[in-house]
Structure 1
Amino acid sequence: MTTRLSATSMPLAGVAMPAYDPESCGAGIVHIGVGAFHKAHQAVYTDTAMGLAGGDWRITGVSLRSADVASALNPQDGRYLLMVRDEAGDSARLIGSIAKVVVAPAEPDAVIQAVASPETRIVTLTVTEKAYGIDRATGGVDVTHDVITHDLNNPTTPKGLVGFLIAGLSRRREREAGPLTILCCDNLPENGRLVRRIVLDFAERVEPALAQWIARTVTFPSSMVDRITPATTSQTLQDAERLSGFSDMAAVETEPFSQWIVEDNFAAGRPEWEAAGALFVEDVAPYEKMKLRLLNGTHSLLAYAGFLAGHETVGEAVRNEALRAIAERQMQASAATLPPVPGIDLDAYRAELLARFANRAIRHLTYQIAMDGTEKLPQRICAPLGETLAANGDACAFAFAVAAWMRYCLGVTDDGRSYDLQDPRQAAIAARLDGVPRDADAIFDALSALQDVFPKELAGDPRMRGRVVEALSTILELGMAEAIRVHARRQVDRTRI
């Protein structure tokens, strides 16, 4: 039986090791949402920064739901292998920046204490969009959200992200533990401002004086993160054991590319992440919007259309020449909605994205990316579509993505296999589609009425309706694989006119 990876598993032949002694460094960061992406991104930047500049910046991880990540990392003293895959081969590095992981349902007070600790100077976040409980109409908390409702009524025994933040901040204020930075690392527009608005709204409902203290004491910088990170599989774990000689239940795989752009607004110091390659700027918004619309928006198109066309991975989907052409058209249209992005050549950025998507060494599943569509479409597809129409542009470039999502909402493949939508509004989608015939107009009417996904002015625009219904009709009639080819030809024909 192979020995489990741990702090004593050193050195590992052929594996890059931490350039510092992790156990000699204190924990200064709490990270909520320790998943594959965090382990491939922020934890790696922190590991590199500590190796170069030192500091008590190890990470106390928090899992809001499952104990799996704690069961994987804690017996390994927080150690895990980062495997970087490209077509030239794999490389491996041992990461030591995570000190431990706390499971919120099992140890709720430990989470609150971690946020309240004076040693904690930064709380970072990577959770699903639905975990924030956003009311998209007001920008505050959604008081109809089950977890938000519970936490508002039980502020000292929270279950959700915002509730734990408020409970920790309340205790921090009581103990005079000092200022704090809450750094969102999720794919949300102006994510720092968004989280600040949610936190203050929640706090105001619980205790107005706490909201005032938070406004004075806590900063909420925005950030943009980028690194394609597939879910860990049994193959990931097998390869980690092959490379290290140890059993590693927390290994993660990722691509060579990594980017982190951060607003430099920290209340109590930070690691020297810039030494690890992070870029600190005054305004993250242009970079956020670029990534949301070009990378994430294209990912959504490839996920819905690719999954229904039988492509298991993004790499397979983007190597479909017709689907790639549709993706390129959407990227061009999205780029036209962007403000200037300092230091970025958008043509080169789009070409680099397509090359990254096509990396044969990365198995990024279309079904994985397709989850939570109602949370993702508003900023990835609907926002640039609305701006394009407002400028009297053509909705055609975005229509196929919207139509593909609507077809995906039917929950069955062209050959009759059912699948779960993995969407927080799955029940609402099912209710909208109940009794609706398999007709493009009827499906469009049912789903475009989801106002938290499609604003009224967008759903009611005949130019959008015409293009989406046309694309959806073709998908329903011919099946997704053939519809992709037909739509790509239509794009070429329209371009020639």
Structure 2
Amino acid sequence: MNPIPPAEFTILHLGLGSFHRAHQAVYLQALHEAGDRRWALSGANIRPDMADVLAALRAQDGRYTLETVSPAGEYRYQQIESIREVIPYEPKLAAVIARGAAPSTRIISFTVTEAGYYIDAKGKLDMSFADLVADIGRVQRGEIGQTIYGALVAILAARRSGDGGPVTLLNCDNLRHNGERVRAGLIEFIERVGDMDLLAWVKAFTRCPNAMVDRITPRPPAELRERVKAATGRDDAAAITGESFIQWVIEDDFIAGRPDWGRVGVELVNSVQPYEEAKIRILNATHSCIAWAGTLVGLNFIHEGTHDAEIRKFAFDYVTDDVIPCLSPSPIDLAAYRDVVLDRFGNPAIKDTNQRVAADGFSKIPGFIAPTIRERLAAGGSIDSVAMLPALFLAFLQRWHAGQLSYAYQDQGMDPTVAHAICAAQDPVAALCADRLLWGNLAGDERLVAAVRGAGDRVAAFLARRA
């Protein structure tokens, strides 16, 4: 392969999964193709996962093929070359820390699941998580942490001691107010570690803009490699697939420069909040609704549930009856956005699995769904349509409790003992609605319990019709 000339500035990205490679790397590739090659990506993982993918990327000098598919079934293949360095995993993260501390690295970005930030409903670190507590202990002993905070502390401490200069920390995930919340979590983590000098440096020399990202990126199917080879002639062991739609909205608050992303379609704004709320409540919550309902009636893929009239109506009514009133007025045409989202979910070529989308319900209920319920109740409105989502999740959880799911359920935010206790309770609806992790100050609210109970009856009738 032909070598690519070095870039002037680096973005170090932590979490070298499919989403990053179908999203942030693609925008930087577009900038390269527009003639601006000043920035490049360096990618790494902070945990020992995806070893095969990282090895394939290293063997291909960071190059890989992105397949995109439109709702009309149009396929496109693009080689992405914006990741110039793939750092292999090793427990001490020495090369990751060195790259993050280098003065040429001006942005450290990361993609983490909602549960991976360990943030409670009050925006504080949730110290009930044993791995978070253990990580604080590791860092206090001078060891390298295994959470995002532990990794960032190691990088930023090296940057400070090496006089690497200011750096922007950029979230690329679905956490609401993600920049603000990870900054608060990082500061609290450093406070608990007790490194006051580093704390002062982080407050002065880092920025954490909020950002909203969007592109459906399913796990690469087994047949993708052959499809890419047939279309391009390249035998690509690191190929990925995704929908044609892509969006990135970032608050323009960077302390050490940034790529000229506005040239290639990134929306750089003063406040990401209206875009973030629309995406989280309309796209993310609706995605989960369809995954839970689809699983319950034996469907495997998101597009199958989206084309099911009853399941589509659950999602449509939730957005129409409850989300749009909460988010209006908005700079976004919310009804049009709802329809675009459902069209995207209905794309049969994406083959996004219910298993992937149904994951992490114990983080998605408080993050994606509870805010709408809270706001509708505060305004004196009905929550009948939005209550279908926790009712579907409870029915889904009961299947998991009984060992009757067709796939392994993964939920980083779930305490299995608590989840089993909810399902085994004499009144599972009341037990679910009493859980403070899920509902915060709404826990036990009689209006919530009544609405979820009524929705549960509708879910039971729906399942009876499909039996």
* TM-score, reference length from structure 2: 0.93
AA aligned opposite 1:208: M
Give the match's secondary structure for 2:387: helix
Question: Counterpart of 2:438?
Answer: 453
Q: Is the 2:433–2:448 contact (alpha carbons within 8 Å) kept by the matching residues of 1?
A: no
Match for residue 39 of structure 2 among 29, 37, 57: 57
Structure 1 residues 152 and 414: CA distance shift in structure 2, 3 A: closer
AA aligned opposite 2:463: M
Q: CA deviation at 1:417?
A: 4.8
Q: Is the 1:79–1:96 contact (alpha carbons within 8 Å) kept by the matching residues of 2?
A: yes
Question: Counterpart of 1:124?
Answer: 109
Question: Counterpart of 2:15?
Answer: 33
Please give the per-residue CA displacement for 1:430-484, whole angstroms capped at 9, x wherever unaligned. 44236435xxxx111222232111123x2322222122112223434x4636379
Question: Counterpart of 1:405?
Answer: 393
In the TM superposition, 1:455-474 aligns within 5 A as 455-456=440-441, 458-474=442-458
Question: Counterpart of 1:12?
Answer: none
Match for residue 389 of structure 1 among 374, 377, 387: 377
Question: Counterpart of 2:257?
Answer: 269
Q: Is the 1:433–1:443 contact (alpha carbons within 8 Å) kept by the matching residues of 2?
A: yes
* TM-score, reference length from structure 1: 0.87
Q: Is the 1:475–1:483 contact (alpha carbons within 8 Å) kept by the matching residues of 2?
A: no
Question: Counterpart of 1:491?
Answer: none
AA aligned opposite 2:361: G
Mapped partners of 1:349, 1:199: distance in 2: 34
Q: Is the 2:208–2:253 contact (alpha carbons within 8 Å) kept by the matching residues of 1?
A: yes
Q: Is the 2:46–2:151 contact (alpha carbons within 8 Å) kept by the matching residues of 1?
A: no
AA aligned opposite 2:65: L
Q: CA deviation at 1:193?
A: 0.3
Q: Is the 2:101–2:164 contact (alpha carbons within 8 Å) kept by the matching residues of 1?
A: yes
Question: Counterpart of 1:337?
Answer: 326
Question: Counterpart of 2:167?
Answer: 180
Mapped partners of 2:93, 2:112: distance in 1: 17
Mapped partners of 1:71, 1:107: distance in 2: 18
Q: Is the 1:414–1:479 contact (alpha carbons within 8 Å) kept by the matching residues of 2?
A: no
Mapped partners of 2:89, 2:127: distance in 1: 22
Question: Counterpart of 1:157?
Answer: 144
Q: Is the 1:223–1:260 contact (alpha carbons within 8 Å) kept by the matching residues of 2?
A: yes
Question: Counterpart of 1:493?
Answer: none
Mapped partners of 1:120, 1:263: distance in 2: 20
Mapped partners of 2:97, 2:446: distance in 1: 50
Q: CA deviation at 1:353?
A: 1.1
Q: Is the 2:400–2:409 contact (alpha carbons within 8 Å) kept by the matching residues of 1?
A: no
Instruction: State yes or no: 1:46 paired with 2:31.
Output: no
Q: Is the 1:62–1:111 contact (alpha carbons within 8 Å) kept by the matching residues of 2?
A: yes
Q: Is the 1:27–1:99 contact (alpha carbons within 8 Å) kept by the matching residues of 2?
A: no
Question: Counterpart of 2:126?
Answer: 142
Give the match's secondary structure for 1:294: helix
Mapped partners of 1:105, 1:410: distance in 2: 39
Give the match's secondary structure for 1:118: coil
Q: Is the 1:41–1:258 contact (alpha carbons within 8 Å) kept by the matching residues of 2?
A: yes
Q: Is the 1:292–1:380 contact (alpha carbons within 8 Å) kept by the matching residues of 2?
A: yes
Question: Counterpart of 1:75?
Answer: 59
Structure 1 residues 236 and 205: CA distance shift in structure 2, 3 A: same
Mapped partners of 2:354, 2:8: distance in 1: 39
Please give the per-residue CA displacement for 1:283-302, whole angstroms capped at 9, x wherever unaligned. 00111011000111111111
Q: Is the 1:133–1:145 contact (alpha carbons within 8 Å) kept by the matching residues of 2?
A: yes
Mapped partners of 1:170, 1:129: distance in 2: 25
Give the match's secondary structure for 1:454: helix
Q: CA deviation at 1:113?
A: 1.6
Question: Counterpart of 1:200?
Answer: 187
Q: CA deviation at 1:125?
A: 1.2
Please give the per-residue CA displacement for 1:75-120, whole angstroms capped at 9, x wherever unaligned. 1110000111123331100000112333444451222222211111
Q: Is the 1:150–1:159 contact (alpha carbons within 8 Å) kept by the matching residues of 2?
A: no
Mapped partners of 1:420, 1:448: distance in 2: 24
Structure 1 residues 241 and 74: CA distance shift in structure 2, 3 A: same
Consecutive unaligned residues in structure 1, runs of 5 or more:
1-6, 9-20, 485-497
Give the match's secondary structure for 1:239: helix
Q: Is the 1:193–1:221 contact (alpha carbons within 8 Å) kept by the matching residues of 2?
A: yes
In the TM superposition, 1:169-248 aligns within 5 A as 169-206=156-193, 207-248=195-236
Structure 1 residues 375 and 415: CA distance shift in structure 2, 3 A: closer
Q: Is the 2:281–2:369 contact (alpha carbons within 8 Å) kept by the matching residues of 1?
A: yes
Give the RMSD, CA atoms, in angstroms: 2.1
Mapped partners of 1:449, 1:102: distance in 2: 45
Mapped partners of 2:27, 2:308: distance in 1: 34
Structure 1 residues 251 and 412: CA distance shift in structure 2, 3 A: same
AA aligned opposite 2:239: A
Question: Counterpart of 2:288?
Answer: 300
Question: Counterpart of 1:115?
Answer: 100
Give the match's secondary structure for 1:182: strand
Structure 1 residues 347 and 430: CA distance shift in structure 2, 3 A: closer
